[in-house]
Chains A and B, each alone.
Chain A
Amino acid sequence: MFDALADRLESAWKKLRGQDKISESNIQEALREVRRALLEADANLQVVKDFVAEVQTKALGAEVIAGVNPAQQFIKIVYDELVAVMGEENAPLANVTTAPTIVLMAGLQGTGKTTATAKLALHLRKQDRSTLLVATDVYRPAAIDQLITLGKQIGVPVFEMGKDADPVEIARQGVEKAQADGIDTVIIDTAGRLQIDESMMAELAQIKNTVTPHEVLLVVDAMTGQEAANLTRTFHEQIGITGAILTKMDGDTRGGAALSVRQISGQPIKFIGVGEKVEALQPFYPDRMASRILGMGDVLTLVEKAQEEVDFAEAEKLQEKILTAKFDFTDFLKQTRLMKNMGSLAGIVKLLPGMGNKLSDEQLQQGEVQLKRSEAMINSMTQEERRNPDLLSGSPSRRRRIAKGSGYSLEDVSKLVSDFQKMRSLMQQMGQGQLPGMGMPGMGGMGGMFGAPSMGPGTPPPGWRGYNSPAPSKKKKKEKKKKGFGSL
């Protein structure tokens, strides 16, 4: 799989040493890398072709920026284009003046429609909007029970007429009931269906014509492959969608399907599903999606995740510090503790730019150990030293004292201090508006911090974001690789 795209572009460019301008001839390999990266991320082939052509035009027309190498400039063009294509930020759910707002859910089997129906209701309740859920899936065993159970969990009424009724009729009466009860929004759950199933698509069209919804949301599994384009096209042509929900984003898929859905329908992705629980719904952010698809990690999500755990002011301060490189050992300790609250190191690391897919399980475990060591060493620092790491860089005697106090060697302490300084300068780069992932080579510092052995550019990564899971042992993999795809 690919190391961060940034790395690969960097090496594509190195081969063209001495060329400092983007030109038709030297851009080809870089474009090939972009194409591969997007395909690996499951963006649809046709969509990728169009996208790459657009990037080429933009790149060739770009002004050369002094002090920025073409690789960096190029990846910024790719990233910006992807963000632009991904569309509006945080497009809200329709909200009509004469209630009820009617929302129709649609999609293939098992994508998460029923779950998303309940999630939306909970989301709307937070905005003081009342909801009624309508159960029209009379086909799947216990589909109605499922919606009723979810409705009970969140205290929202569910309208159903059993499984012998006609879905179109259920939808019609459901909306009538919402009107009668003065409900703000009625959300109609439907059975999963293949876009080539003519009778089921006709049923959906009939539901739509009967209730004339204000919102038709296509629910798409983020792990979907090339098919995302076909299904979006057909649902949009035959039913007409107003937006999409991308589910199962809590997995480790890159989610290139998002690009296909957006490109083909032209409609915004409104929400993402990030878990099985009813609370697990988030607004969609195009920039985050873009860096995820390109494998560039996501500093923002990290900061936001931290915000859920600490109070807001605290996280603000932390973010400010990270971005201005005033981050010190006290903050580091705080953050280490925070990480413990937030879950495993692995979960956090995947959010760091370029880190997620670089570390194996073993390395992460080493990382956890390394963090504990770092913590022990920091505990032996004075408050002043923690606040001002420069004191330590300049004073071997201070470092020696800390080594003694914590039971580690002087070398260990020196390494901690120098890694920390490296990390600070990296953070500063990011703070100066450089793109996450662009400082990749500098990541070595951070990797060291987590105890990961430094990896050469040619090291094959342990697979997609090889974290959090007992990946097959390295050795076995290598052997296989010889026989299999790895030999190429």
Chain B
Amino acid sequence: MANQYVDMDSLKYLLYDIHGFEDVLNQEHFADYDREAVDMFLTSVKDFSDQKLYPTFQDMDKHAARFEDGKIIVPPVVETVMKEGGELGLISACFSFEDGGLQMPLTAMTAAYYIMDAANNHLPGYLGLTQGAAELIVEFGSEELKAKYTPKMLTGDWAGTMCLTEPQAGSSLSDITTSATPSDDGSYKIKGQKIFISGGDHEYVDNVVHLVLARIDGAPAGTKGISLFVVPKNKIQDDASLTSNDVITAGDFQKMGQKGYCTTHLIFGEQDDCQGWLVGEPNQGLKYMFLMMNGARIAVGRGGAGICTAAYYASLEYAKERPQGRRLSAKGTKDVNQEQTLIINHPDVRRMLLLQKAISEGSLSLVTLTSIYADLYQTVTDPEEKEKYYLLLELLTPICKTYPSEDGMRSINNGLQVLGGYGFCSEYILQQYYRDIRIFSIYEGTTGIQSLDLLGRKVAMKGGKALMLLANEMKETMKDASTYDDLKPYAAKLGAKLQLTQDVLGHLSQFAMKGDYERYIADATIFMEFFSKVVISWLWLQMATHSKHALVTANMDYSEEFYNAKIHTMKFYFKYELSRTSSLAEILKDQDVLTIPNEEEVFA
């Protein structure tokens, strides 16, 4: 395992210097926070990760969660994480003071979880899902439900899950069939199966509180008839003791990665004795879930960013130690009598490492900014400002979920290549990162679904206002960058790509206007890839401009090399990644229609 899995300086640089997190801390709602408190919390989480998470990372892969004698067995560190993580505030801190929390900004929590994701991505989900499930109860549940369930969830004594997926209903939740039959006492009898339920059961908590999507008998078909229920594994008796609630764990899915994070198959009401309690109003379940979805999607992007960061440092350490081959002399020859050079001196290896750096820090920048928009949307009071942050958050969320997951995979793929044959071997950690990150583009809505959301809904939202607001932000950066002669060409290149985005959308929207929505949306994933690169280029230009300013004014909180490396990586991203948008645009504007099904058999 590598010595380093995260760079706290880069994290703080993005938080405070690039994305102005102190503006968030200055909001009335966060009056109890300042930079010192947030930094101290991040140090605590780093210490916790160093001591408890990172040392167990490899082991969790070797000793995967499993189903034995009707029970899910997970590594014992899960207990440590629930108890000590709960105590640190990693479940409760973002809740309001009235709800037992500490009113911490989401951005601070995102930064904290990013450290844990980088240290050991198998573990944060146990805490994060408990937080998410408690949030649904707090946000939409009755006072009684809140009082009964959330205190023990916030401490980590009980866990929480999100039960959406069923064997026949994954991307399309409108097909959910789990049923809820009203009982005389106001509760519901729940019956059905849920699959792929993360953190669904284990021995290290006394209870698991499932937030289950189900249909009340007679509810309308489709998404309009889905309600949300609290369904605990164990019911709470009047004397506060717990008794089984007919929630049976039928298995644990064995996976290629994230093996220590159990993924369960749950059966509700096999004995007809599973009680659930409605959260909020009937038939509003999916709406409630979606209101919480931005946070969950930011969390997935954050995880992708964390894993590819850790992989980058592992590759970098290896490349600095591994001697192999020799550099070419000016004459194009190699002197075999010379000592071997370290592989970090080969241009192709440097390209791969720079790609890793560019993607991992670019992803972290995106995740940080999206969290900041979420905090500002929640706390600003001016309606116009609120709308601005809402639209920016909505537009960036699918990209924030997708880019770190998709390009994170590419980044780790290159990182594995840096290790050559050892990269393929189990003793080296790169192959584990490579397997672990694979799930991030699947759960919480696949890349395909995120791309439909981006092109189908977000780009067109409020007559394109979200996109216009984002373009304005980009133009601000281009203006700032243009004050430095050596950054001008990069600002101009980004401007041209913004224009190209308009061209592409102009081309695609013809189909939407003609009512040919399938054609409009058919290459949504290519558009996601295209637009993500434009967004990440913007974020790198922000970093380069800030770094340039720090160097020129000699107002430096970090070393000179730190700032120079940011500028260099921006240039790298523009040359090696932003340039690729030209061919993606060509695909998007191509007239051939090759993927929409018609009578032709193309898989013959």
Do A and B pair up? The answer is: no
